Structure 1
């Protein structure tokens, strides 16, 4: 499945616009990762725990969107956009959403 942020797929013609498709993931941030991130914030450096959590959430949101596009009969998703949000009373949840237009291509 082709997923692109552009409004077209190079060299292909959109045959049919199937519909808007979404992928959403809400992930909790681990207490130990919070401690490590707090220390890195104080001393400097990157938070590998948070980066890995973000990477996993992003990949899962893309997979979910792709599965939904396939279920709709699409060949590709164009105009994909991804957003990140922090949720919860203590900002302990990370929400990653992606959306795009599911299309059928003419080959």
Structure 2
């Protein structure tokens, strides 16, 4: 499955638009990652726990979107956009969403 942020795919022709597809992941950040991130905030450096969680959530959202596009018979998703939000009363949840247009190619 080709996924691109552009509206076209080089050397390929879009023959049909199958519809808009989405991928969504909401994940909790646990207390141990919060503790590690808090220490990094004080002493500096990168938060490996948060980075790993963000990477996993992003990959899952893309996989979910691709699966939905395949279900529509698409060969690719064009115009993909990804967003990130923090949710929950204590901002303890991370939401990653992506969307794009599922298309058939020649």
Give the TM-score normalised by the residue count of structure 1.
Answer: 0.98
Would you say 1:23 and 2:42 are equivalent positions? Answer: no
> Alpha carbon RMSD of aligned pairs, Å?
0.3
How far apart are residue 23 of structure 1 and its match? 0.1
> Which residues of structure 2 form unaligned runs of 5+?
none
Separation in 2 of the partners of 1:79 and 1:91? 29
5 Å-filtered alignment, 1:55-74, equals 55-74=55-74
How far apart are residue 30 of structure 1 and its match? 1.1
Separation in 2 of the partners of 1:49 and 1:30? 10
Would you say 1:88 and 2:88 are equivalent positions? Answer: yes
Q: How many residues align?
A: 106
Give the TM-score normalised by the residue count of structure 2.
Answer: 0.99
- After superposing on structure 2, the runs of 4+ consecutive aligned residues of structure 1 that deviate more than 4 Å are none
How far apart are residue 50 of structure 1 and its match? 0.1
> Which residues of structure 1 form unaligned runs of 5+?
none
